[in-house]
Amino acid sequence: MQGIKYIDEIDISNKRVLIRVDFNVPLDEGNQITDDTRIRSVLPTINYALDENARVILISHLGRPKGIPVDSMSLAPVAKRLGRLLEKEVRLAPDCIGAETKTIVENMKPGTVVLLENLRFHPEETKNEAGFGKQLAALADVYINDAFATAHRAHASNVAVTDYINNVAAGLLMKKELAYFTMAMEKPVRPFVAIIGGKKVSDKVGVLSSLCNRVDKLIIGGGMAMTFFKAMGEEIGKSFAEDSALEAAREVIRIAKEKNIKLYMPVDFVVADKFSAEAETKVVTSQEIPKDWMALDIGPATVTLFTEALANAKTIIWNGPMGVFEIDAFSRGTFALVSSVANSYALTIIGGGDTDVAVHRASEFAKMSYISTGGGAFLEILENNDLPGIAAIRHNQQRQSAV
Kindly give the residue spans of alpha helices, DSSP state H, lying in 232-371.
246-258, 300-310, 332-342, 354-361
| Catalytic residue, candidates 352, 353, 374, 389 | 353
20 closest CA partner among 124, 118, 102: 118
Whole-number percent of the chain with pLDDT over 90: 87
Among the residue ranges 83-87, 190-194, 383-387, the one predicted with the least confidence is 383-387
Same fold, 7-171+386-402 and 188-372: yes
Q: How many CB atoms lie within 10 A of CB 109?
A: 7
Asked if residue 16 lies in contact with residue 57, where contact means CB atoms within 8 angstroms, the answer is yes
Q: How far apart are CA 376 and CA 24, in angstroms?
A: 14
State the distance between the two ends of the chain, measured CA to CA, in whole angstroms: 23
Each domain of the chain, given as residue ranges in start order, spans 7-171+386-402, 188-372
Rounded to whole angstroms, what are the CA distances from 350 to 30, 61, 374? Answer: 30, 23, 10
Residue 197 annotated among the catalytic residues of the structure? no
**Catalytic hit among 200, 259, 361, 394:** 200
Catalytic residue flag (residue 38): yes
- Options 3.30.1300.10, 3.40.50.1260, 3.40.50.720, 3.30.70.3340; CATH for 7-171+386-402 is 3.40.50.1260
The single-letter code of the amino acid at 60 is S
Nearest to 348 by CA among 225, 151, 183: 183
Q: How far apart are CA 130 and CA 111, in angstroms?
A: 30
Q: What is the pLDDT of residue 182?
A: 87
pLDDT tens profile 32-68:
999 899 999 999 999 999 999 999 999 999 999 999 9
- Of the residues 102, 238, 376, 394, only one is catalytic, namely 376
Expressed in percent and rounded to 5, the helix, strand and coil fractions of the chain are 40, 15, 45
376 catalytically annotated: yes
* CATH class of domain segment(s) 188-372: alpha beta
Mean pLDDT of 223-241: 95
pLDDT tier for residue 1 given thresholds of 50, 70 and 90? very low
- Catalytic position from the list 5, 15, 38, 175: 38
